[in-house]
Amino acid sequence: MIRFLLSVLATCLLVYSLHNHANDEQSANLWSYNWENDFWVNDDGDYTNGFSYTWGYSIGKEGFNDENIPNWIHRITRNTPIATMKNKQRAISYKIMQEMYTPDHTSRSALNTEDRPYAGLLYWQGNMFAGNHFINDRLSLLLGFVGPPSLAKQSQKAAHSLIGANAPKGWKNQLQTEPIFRLEVERVWRLASTAIGSGHEMDFIALAQGGVGNRKTDFGLGFGWRIGSGLANSFLNTSVNPAANMNPAMLPKHGDWHLFVTCMGNYVIHDITLNGNTFSNSHSVKLQQYQSVATAGGAIQLYQFTVNFTLSAVSDSYDVQQVPDHYGSLALTYHW
């Protein structure tokens, strides 16, 4: 109980300190709730659940400054390309997310060295966006912790109890408490677009991303295809998983919709959920460095609400993995 209360207190302090805005009158114009779970593909293991709340606001073509982003973020990013590029639509968002990773067989209480570790993560993530109808950039900082303070054990047991599933028994073997961070950059290009009928079009997308940190260090390239209406309006939110990091600068209109398919290859140097704790001994598995992910899904704009649904298929990420990872993402976003 004491650990639970300390975890809640630490999370509240983290949110308060990181979102202590220089201008208290600046209000958000986006709220987004995202649920990621392997329930959507009738699976239970590996990346098994994630829930996040995102809030953010569009800055327009005004540059980032002390009045529209937190002072400490402005000080460390003011000379970076995302802050100095001209004629870009800018925005910033903040996200609180919990993630949980489990072995394939959660009914086993003893440590299974032939499967991935139990790992729970709880973190804050700030995203800075700068883009136009052809190129969109994102600079991201993730701060949080892995281990029991993430409350992943309690969350999964409560969820399994609610739906009548068997309680997971191996959380006593989860990774130990450790602070985590990740600095990430992403660029998306709209390579070409063509009209295919009255009010409909399709386009082709290229993506590049890279990140460093003890949470994860990797680099990747990918391509995507979209079909629908109002694609230019939603381009600023294009990524491998659009539901994960909603861009407040996008301007969808009622009735806009699209379907998409995206594939990305990644070279992964480190992943704490597989390599284990950085500064202490823990359960780990051998990482597969060449990985890929394919996503397919769609989005529709209904008045001020955007609904996104994505299915993700991930290649084997460690040597003894028996089944590739699959999961679905559902996001509901409100704009004003």
- Domains of the chain as residue ranges with CATH: 2-335 (2.40.128.140)
| Alpha helix (H) residue ranges in the chain | 2-18, 71-77, 81-84, 152-163, 231-234, 272-275
Q: Which amino acid is at 317?
A: S
Six-digit token string for 12: 């509240």
Q: How deeply is 111 buried, as exposed, middle or buried, from its count of CB atoms within 10 A (0-12, 13-18, 19+)?
A: middle
pLDDT along the chain (336 residues), means of 10: 44 47 55 88 78 94 88 92 92 96 86 91 97 94 97 87 77 96 97 91 97 98 96 90 86 91 97 95 95 96 95 92 87 93
Question: What pLDDT does residue 17 have?
Answer: 43
Residue 69 half-sphere exposure toward CB, CA atoms < 13 A: 24
Q: Under 8 Å CB-to-CB from 174, ≥6 apart: which residues?
A: 117, 118, 119, 120, 147, 148, 152, 153
Question: What pLDDT does residue 258 have?
Answer: 96
The β-bridge relationship of strands 325-335 and 290-302 is: unpaired
Whole-model pTM: value is 0.90
Q: Using alpha carbons, list the distances in angstroms from residue 154 to 147, 151, 210, 279, 327.
A: 12, 5, 32, 25, 21
| Alpha helix (H) residue ranges in 65-171 | 71-77, 81-84, 152-163
> CA angle, 40 as apex, 38 and 42 as ends, to 5°?
70
Q: Which amino acid is at 221?
A: L
Six-digit token string for 76: 């460390």
Residue 13 half-sphere exposure toward CB, CA atoms < 13 A: 6
Q: Under 8 Å CB-to-CB from 289, ≥6 apart: which residues?
A: 267, 268, 269
Question: What pLDDT does residue 255 have?
Answer: 93
How far is the C-alpha of 277 from the C-alpha of 144, rounded, in Å?
A: 14
Could you give the 3-state DSSP secondary structure of residue 76? Answer: helix
